Amino acid sequence: MANYTAEEVEKIKDRILSALESVIDPELGVDIINLGLVYAIEFEDSGRTEIQMTLTTMGCPLADLLTDQIHDAMKEVPEVTETEVKLVWYPAWSVDKMSRYARIALGIR
């Protein structure tokens, strides 16, 4: 088991965020980071990574597709050895969580 410094963990989390930007919501055509769907990333020294995220609506039929894409994206981060995606519903997602980029891309003011 590796013992990462706090600075190293932050750099790994940055790489995780960058990898997650490749996960595109197929309905909206914008990545899950800019949509504000990822609420938390927990990275352990063992490489186990938990991604807490939500969906734009409960019962979204794309949950499995997005989860599969997240697992694929995490393969790009060598320190990540195991990925768990947890869907959370609180706080509820709203357009307020979207980045400026996502708002412009979707024509939302």
**Average of pLDDT values for 34-47?**
96
Can you tell me whether residue 73 is helix, strand or coil?
Answer: helix
Q: Say if CB 93 and CB 54 are below 8 A apart.
A: yes
Q: Does domain 6-106 have CATH number 3.30.300.130?
A: yes
What is the value of pTM for the model shown?
Answer: 0.90
pLDDT at residue 1 tops 70: no
Structure tokens at 45: 């020294």
Residue 73 has a pLDDT of 98
